[in-house]
Structure 1
Amino acid sequence: MNSRLSLRTAFLLTLPPVLWAGNAIVGRMVHDMVPPILLNFLRWALAFLILLPLAGPVFRSGSGVWTHWRRFAVLGLLGIGLYNALQYMALQSSTPINVTLVAAGMPVWMMLTGWLFFGAAVSRRQVLGAVLSIAGVLVVLARGELEHLLALRLVAGDIFMIFATIAWSLYSWLLMRTTEPAGLRADWAGFLLAQVAFGVVWSGAFAAGEWTLGAARVDWNWTLAAALLYVAVGPAVIAFRCWGEGVRRAGPAIAAFFSNLTPLFAALMSSLILGEAPHLYHAVAFLLIVGGIVVSSRRA
């Protein structure tokens, strides 16, 4: 790992937040064209087809995938089947700016998940950082008005996104508990493909349930086709590859700051593409969330 942040490394860590912000924008743009859980299934089915030529041999006997199939099934459920589906469900009623800002409270859920389920120690700085980040999330949920928070007037999409961040926190901690062979872990395409394969099964089952409940209308058009291609190639494959290499070069501590660029890019894209101009409370929430991360990340 190289602790110096070169321009190449900065680019590798900046591109994923751009693509993730675009994912929120696209999800909002097509929310009337396709049901959210079906959108998630189609996205990852396409990603599976893209990755298959790159890492198809990962499914051969002896690769470690089938020996550790339970682990990949859980990773696929949390990181692909649940997180992305909940995010697209959130975008049915919430804006990309709000969704990405609520997701920026991820470090708080990471800390709580690690403490509750994985025995991770929590420092005073982390607690202070968590308080600041939670305050930022509450500002978003309250839409900048205290009476909204007191009256618990929450948009359903914000709640879905909170559950999504909890699922991603569990996924991230489980991801750190390496049990598969080192060769499989080092093969980014194979490691991702193994998760996607199980995630497609989970998301397909969820999409079938959504279809059974009546959310069956799909408006097939070129806009939807382009959106599916983008979310499968950009946020699913390219972002994962760049992020993994960027973290390897700079380390997770530095990389964490780049992930919180997502709300900023989402605000800019929303203003340019959707005409959803950011408000002052978005800026306040962003500063609180980033401030919490900076405080919790500093060493005593």
Structure 2
Amino acid sequence: MVTTFFWGGTFVAGKWAVGEAPPFFVAFLRFAIASAALWTLVAWRYGGSGKRFPMPEGGPQWTGLFSLGLTGVFLYNFVFLTGLSWTSATNGSLIVAFNPLLTAVLSALWLKERIRPVQAGGFLLALIGVGVVVTRGSIAVIRSLSFNPGDLLMLGAPVAWALYTILGKKVLACFSPLVATAYASLFGTLLLLPAAALEGSLLSGVHRLSVYGWISVLQLALLGTVVGFVWWYEGVEALGASRAAVFVNLVPLFGVLLSVLILSESLEVSQLAGGILVVLGVAIGTRGGRENRDGDSG
């Protein structure tokens, strides 16, 4: 539960950080710090155990790890932080809440698995909820195509994360989650470095951040990335994947609450209605997916 609280807080921290510095600089700083912490954990875990340090062997493993950095770090944070610079943290948290179900459906299509009717129904319900949030519940927005560009960019975040998750399944056959995430963070940081440099923010960005800006970046890097990752997998190990997955539905709830409390964002009726549909659709769809897998394995 604390992990989902940290993840909900990334929307507030991201919104605050991009209010002070450009998105690529914030993303680069986030993952430079996260990479240092993650590789420290890797060195601590493997250095004292006598195990061989995890190095990729052959082109396919290097390519797989690089693809994680490209999708889950570079692309995800580009649309996530750039989107937050134009839309509210509330909208961002509700749109990205579509993430688990989109990942499940795309994974099923990618792996040629059968999608149950309950999954399809949940996906449709969540998609309608995202539509309500993006259009602010107004038909006029659809007719005039006057969408918030931040909302449209934020729609790319669940897609990028779904690709990261699907590609990660093959990588995790060779590396532990900690090692795979450390490599993904490292490659993502290397990709973000030239982007931040071209953005013209690499040197000036440090001076733009206030104390609260640095707190936001550290929240993104340490609590949202490093601690969140470690605690999440500890929770999965203790509870099992199916029970742990239920807690993901708390992320948009914490995201909205923190946005209202810290950023003083208002919660509109369309956001509340859309958020309920998204969370309900995700809960139904992911539950249907787990039942499907349980039934197949039995």
Provide the TM-score with structure 1 as the length reference: 0.85
Answer whether contact 1:52 1:193 (CA < 8 A) is retained. yes
> Shift of the alpha carbon at 1:69?
1.4
Q: Which has the higher helix share?
A: 2
Q: Is 1:263 aligned to residue 252 of structure 2?
A: yes
Query: Hey, what does 2:295 align to over in structure 1?
Result: none
Answer whether contact 2:74 2:188 (CA < 8 A) is retained. yes
> Shift of the alpha carbon at 1:112?
4.1
Cα distance in 1, alignment partners of residues 204 and 157 from structure 2: 23
Amino acid at match of 1:292: G
Tell me the SS of whatever aligns to 1:109. Answer: helix
Amino acid at match of 1:219: R
Q: Is 1:52 aligned to residue 43 of structure 2?
A: no
Amino acid at match of 1:125: V
Q: Which blocks of at least 5 consecutive residues in structure 2 are unaligned?
A: 293-298
CA 1:209 to 1:109, structure 2 compared with 1: closer, same or farther past 3 Å?
Answer: farther
C-alpha deviations, 1:189-217, integer Å up to 9, x for none?
A: 433222211111112132233339x9966
Q: Superposed, which structure 2 residues align to 1:25-44 within 5 Å?
A: 25-44=12-31
> Shift of the alpha carbon at 1:179?
5.7
Between Structure 1 and Structure 2, how many residues are aligned? 282
Query: Hey, what does 1:170 align to over in structure 2?
Result: 163
Query: Hey, what does 2:97 align to over in structure 1?
Result: 104
CA 1:147 to 1:81, structure 2 compared with 1: closer, same or farther past 3 Å?
Answer: same
Cα distance in 2, alignment partners of residues 113 and 69 from structure 1: 24
Give the alignment partner of residue 106 of structure 2, picking from 86, 106, 113: 113
Answer whether contact 1:25 1:270 (CA < 8 A) is retained. yes
CA 1:215 to 1:46, structure 2 compared with 1: closer, same or farther past 3 Å?
Answer: closer
Answer whether contact 2:129 2:274 (CA < 8 A) is retained. yes
CA 1:209 to 1:279, structure 2 compared with 1: closer, same or farther past 3 Å?
Answer: same
> Shift of the alpha carbon at 1:62?
6.1
Cα distance in 1, alignment partners of residues 104 and 97 from structure 2: 13
Q: Superposed, which structure 2 residues align to 1:1-300 within 5 Å?
A: 14-56=1-43, 63-67=54-58, 68-178=61-171, 180-181=173-174, 184-185=175-176, 188-211=177-200, 219-296=208-285, 297-298=287-288, 299=291
After TM superposition, the structure 1 stretch with the greater mean CA deviation from structure 2, 256-265 or 218-227, is 218-227
Answer whether contact 1:108 1:134 (CA < 8 A) is retained. no
Query: Hey, what does 2:296 align to over in structure 1?
Result: none
RMSD: 2.5
Answer whether contact 1:111 1:122 (CA < 8 A) is retained. no
Tell me the SS of whatever aligns to 2:155. Answer: helix
Amino acid at match of 2:208: D
Answer whether contact 2:249 2:283 (CA < 8 A) is retained. no
Amino acid at match of 2:270: Y
Answer whether contact 1:56 1:190 (CA < 8 A) is retained. no
Amino acid at match of 1:134: L
> Shift of the alpha carbon at 1:80?
1.1
Cα distance in 1, alignment partners of residues 229 and 151 from structure 2: 25
After TM superposition, the structure 1 stretch with the greater mean CA deviation from structure 2, 141-150 or 153-162, is 141-150
Cα distance in 2, alignment partners of residues 180 and 209 from structure 1: 36
Answer whether contact 2:16 2:213 (CA < 8 A) is retained. no
> Shift of the alpha carbon at 1:259?
1.2
CA 1:66 to 1:30, structure 2 compared with 1: closer, same or farther past 3 Å?
Answer: same
Amino acid at match of 2:188: G
Tell me the SS of whatever aligns to 1:44. Answer: helix
CA 1:86 to 1:190, structure 2 compared with 1: closer, same or farther past 3 Å?
Answer: same
Query: Hey, what does 1:8 align to over in structure 2?
Result: none
Cα distance in 2, alignment partners of residues 170 and 100 from structure 1: 19
Answer whether contact 1:42 1:228 (CA < 8 A) is retained. yes
Q: Which blocks of at least 5 consecutive residues in structure 1 are unaligned?
A: 1-13
> Shift of the alpha carbon at 1:130?
0.8
> Shift of the alpha carbon at 1:265?
1.0
> Shift of the alpha carbon at 1:252?
2.9
Amino acid at match of 1:262: V
CA 1:291 to 1:224, structure 2 compared with 1: closer, same or farther past 3 Å?
Answer: closer
